Each structure stands twice: as structure tokens, then as C-alpha cells.
Amino acid sequence: QVQLVQSGAEVKKPGASVKVSCEASGYTFTNHYMHWVRQAPGQGPEWMGMINPSGGNTNYAQNFQGRVTMTRDTSTNTIYLEVSSLRSEDTAVYYCARETRHGSGSSCDYWGQGTLVTVSS
Amino acid sequence: AIQMTQSPSSLSASVGDRVTITCRASHAIRVDLGWYQAKPGKAPKLLIYAASILQSGVPSRFSGSGSGTDFTLTISSLQPEDFATYYCLQDYNYPWTFGQGTKVEIK
């Protein structure tokens, strides 16, 4: 069965960086794009960007350009999200999600359990 | 970026009620839209993709319709486990964008 298992909660100080991992299993890792979505307390979800595990190409939301890096390791079926220059507004639960393509469009059909990142001095 | 305007932002309903949530895109997005259910402390769950296709395992009381700019999620008979927040998400182009959400509460 498809599983996406994320790394554990993090507490960081403003200005620091955080790296969250998401290990995939139960399917062919390189066949599905992967996305990162975050949800701040009391807010709706926010799409951060995507990575193609096959070629490593990425597409980031403009809000995160320059502060976010998405990478993958095909030897361990793992993707990573690194966010730098953290500020209090980055406190959120970060989710990875698998994309499945359909005849028209795509969807995120499997999600990780979420990783809480708290930014506090 | 394509803006997704969802309405209402919240609603109160009773078990057994029919509930309708709408999402409007700022540009035409064909049928490249999904509906997701979110509950506190849990990852969003895919309900509908390609505007109207029910995800495997999702109860048939959920349905979706629409194309272009106007989309609808309908719950035909609200069940206790359906009290949650619902979001639309356009996957027509990057950046993908979510609607602001509709919180479905118990009347």
C-alpha cells in the first residue's frame, strides 16, 4: 500500500533553516510528481511547490522563491523540503503529497502525516 | 496566479441535509479541479478529482460538477463524519491554488 512517512516535529529559532523529509513506499517513486503543502494554525492549505522525482525538476510558488529548496534521493525514495530564513509566520504543519495524473489534470491522492514546524525565539 | 473563490466560508447544517459548496476560478481551468476534506490534526483527504470523478473509497453521497470557471461540491445527505472543512484546489497550472475553504458545522 502507498505510504508517505514524514520526519518528526521541529522547533526552530527565527532566521534558522529546517529540512523536512518524506519517504515514499508502495509504488514506483519516479512515476509520480510530489508536492509540498503547508497549513498554518487557523488557516487554509497553501501550495508551496512540486518536484519531479525522476528528473529532479521543481516548480516553486512565488511566495517561497529563494527560501525553499525541494530535492529528492531516488536511492531511498525520499523527498526533502528545506526552508531557510525562518520567521514566525512559517509556523505550520507541512505535508508532502503524491500527485496522480488523470486524462485531464491531476490530484493529490496520498498525503504524508504532516510535520509540525514551530518557529519561536 | 489563478484565484479560487469559494463560498460560503461556513455553513451550519443538520444530519441528513443536502449541502452545496461552490468554487469559482478567476480563469477557465477546464475540469482541472479537486475537492478535499480537512479535519483538525489530519492530512487533507481527496474526495473528487477532475471536477466530478469520485475518488476510490469515498462515499457516493459526495458529488462534484462544473467546468471552466464554476464548480460545485454536493453532499446529498450530510453524515456526522462529514463535519469538516472543504477546499477546492485547481491543478490546471502552476502555482496550484486552493480556495479559502468552507467550514461545515453542526446546526
Task: Identify the pLDDT of residue A65.
Answer: 87
A12/chain B closest Cα distance in angstroms: 21
Per-residue pLDDT tens for B55-99? Answer: 999 999 999 999 999 999 999 999 999 999 999 999 999 999 999
Task: Identify the pLDDT of residue B33.
Answer: 97
Per-residue pLDDT tens for A89-106? Answer: 999 999 999 999 987 789
Cell match 479541479: residue?
B33
Nearest residue in chain A measured CA to CA from B34: A107
Q: Is the peptide bond before B8 cis (omega within 30 degrees of 0)?
A: yes
Nearest residue in chain A measured CA to CA from B52: A104
DSSP strand pairing (B102-106 vs B10-13): parallel
Cell numbers representing residue A117 in the block = 514546524
DSSP strand pairing (A115-119 vs A10-12): parallel
DSSP A44: -
Per-residue pLDDT tens for A6-23? Answer: 999 999 999 999 999 999
B32/A105 Cβ within 8 A: yes
Comparing CA positions, the residue from B64, B54, B82, B55 lying closest to residue B23 is B64
A102/B49 Cβ within 8 A: yes
B55/chain A closest Cα distance in angstroms: 8
B31/A62 Cβ within 8 A: no
Query: Which residues of chain A are modeled with pLDDT < 70?
Result: none
